[in-house]
Amino acid sequence: MAERVCIVSGGNSGIGFELCRGMAAAGFHVVMISRGAERGQPALDKLQAEFGDSIEMMLCDMSDITNITKLHTEFTAKFDRLDVLLNNAGAMWGHRGTTTQGHEMTFGVNHVGYFVMTQTFLPLLESTDGSRIINTASEAHKMARLKLGDLNREKSRYSQWRTYGNSKLCNILFTRELARKLDGTGTITHCFHPGVVKTRFGSGSSGIMRLFWPLGRPFMVNSKKGASTGLHLALSEDAATTTGEYWSRSKRNRGNRHARNDDNATRLWQLTEDMINE
Ligand SMILES: NC(=O)c1ccc[n+]([C@@H]2O[C@H](COP(=O)([O-])OP(=O)(O)OC[C@H]3O[C@@H](n4cnc5c(N)ncnc54)[C@H](OP(=O)(O)O)[C@@H]3O)[C@@H](O)[C@H]2O)c1
């Protein structure tokens, strides 16, 4: 059998770094996606010290979605299969920013980034038997007040937690709708909450969050634990029996009622598609 290949976005840090480790330990060839070489190379060096050439790095800053097409060209020049796509790159931004395409940064990277990565690699995923798409979401979806008419948050005051929560609710709704669209293809998808994890998360936040988040670090789980549900979804037989679900602690979780709103999942998909085709 040809070597199984996976992609981990945001693979140079925190949960993504441990997803890379776990996938390499399971025998995959891992393509670690980093937004830049400066932070990517030290992580790659560490991973290669442990796993040798079965890990490599490709660069892609998701705040400009045209980079994803370049990444796809680089990837398909080397690989003719993709077994697992782990969409994980994400953050919380303390102040309003915009992506190259003009989307609000949190929505743009955390949701549009996952969406375009998945759309771009979908033909390859669908042509690979038993492929999986796993999205890092969050319990922070419970803080969301998602307004589908204002996805870029132009009509309301910027709030870092609310905007982040909205983007993580988008991850769950995206996973539900994706599962529906993938029905019958053999490709499955899930998303997960990793726990409250001691990573660089929060380093770009502002105000009280910037002050108090570091104080909580002693009570947070480590990145290895944070990656464990994602690895369960990427690797286990258990996860392969269903699709489109939200998980926490390697178990299926219902999320809140907004996370189960299929009408909104369909509308979000359409609105996102319209936005990226503008
Ligand atoms: N930590 C938690 O408690 C927690 C809880 C629930 C969900 N999550 C989710 O877990 C995922 C990973 O976060 P983490 O906690 O591991 O934090 P992290 O250590 O800060 O890792 C985030 C990763 O995303 C990358 N990234 C950020 N913006 C990017 C961009 N524009 N283009 C490409 N890559 C970008 C980062 O790259 P750089 O290294 O270059 O910044 C880094 O590799 C995120 O989706 C986050 O929302 C985290």
pLDDT one-digit tens code per residue, 173-232: 999 999 999 999 999 999 999 999 999 998 888 888 888 888 888 999 999 999 999 999
pTM here? 0.98
- Give me the mean pLDDT over the 33-52 stretch: 98
Is pLDDT larger for residue 119 or for residue 205?
A: 119
Whether the pLDDT of residue 1 is over 70: the answer is no
Point out which residues pair with 136 in neighbouring strands. 192
The reply to whether ligand 1 has any atom less than 6 angstroms from the CB of 12 is yes
* Percent over 70 (pLDDT), the chain: 99
Give the Cα separation of 44 and 32 in Å (integer).
Answer: 8
- Give me the mean pLDDT over the 18-34 stretch: 98
What average pLDDT is seen over the chain? 96
Q: Please state, in angstroms and as integers, the Cα–Cα distance from residue 92 to each residue in 1, 11, 51, 55, 227, following that order.
A: 40, 17, 31, 27, 19
Distance 184 CA to ligand 1 centre (A): 32
The reply to whether ligand 1 has any atom less than 6 angstroms from the CB of 197 is yes
- Give me the mean pLDDT over the 111-131 stretch: 98
Point out which residues pair with 72 in neighbouring strands. none
The answer to whether the beta carbons of residues 126 and 57 sit under 8 Å apart is no
Distance 177 CA to ligand 1 centre (A): 23
Q: Please state, in angstroms and as integers, the Cα–Cα distance from residue 186 to each residue in 83, 129, 174, following that order.
A: 11, 7, 18
Residue 113 makes CB contacts below 8 A (sequence gap 6+) with 9, 62, 63, 65, 68, 87, 89, 90
- Give me the mean pLDDT over the 111-115 stretch: 98
Tens-digit pLDDT profile for residues 233-254:
999 999 999 999 999 999 999 9
Tell me what pLDDT residue 269 has. 98
Whether the pLDDT of residue 32 is over 90: the answer is yes
Give the Cα separation of 6 and 30 in Å (integer).
Answer: 5
Give the Cα separation of 252 and 237 in Å (integer).
Answer: 14
The DSSP symbol for 222 reads P
The reply to whether ligand 1 has any atom less than 6 angstroms from the CB of 199 is yes
Residue 246 among the catalytic residues? no
Whether the pLDDT of residue 2 is over 80: the answer is no
> Where residue 163 falls among pLDDT bands split at 50, 70, 90?
very high
Considering only CA atoms, which of 60, 85, 103, 90 is closest in space to residue 175? 85
Give the Cα separation of 195 and 193 in Å (integer).
Answer: 6
Where along the chain do its domains lie? 5-276
Is pLDDT larger for residue 202 or for residue 52?
A: 52
The reply to whether ligand 1 has any atom less than 6 angstroms from the CB of 88 is yes
C-alpha triplet 90, 234, 120: angle, nearest 5°: 55
Least confident of 4-18, 60-74, 109-123, 199-213: 199-213
- Give me the mean pLDDT over the 131-140 stretch: 98
Tell me what pLDDT residue 206 has. 87
Query: 5-276 falls under which CATH superfamily?
Result: NAD(P)-binding Rossmann-like Domain (3.40.50.720)
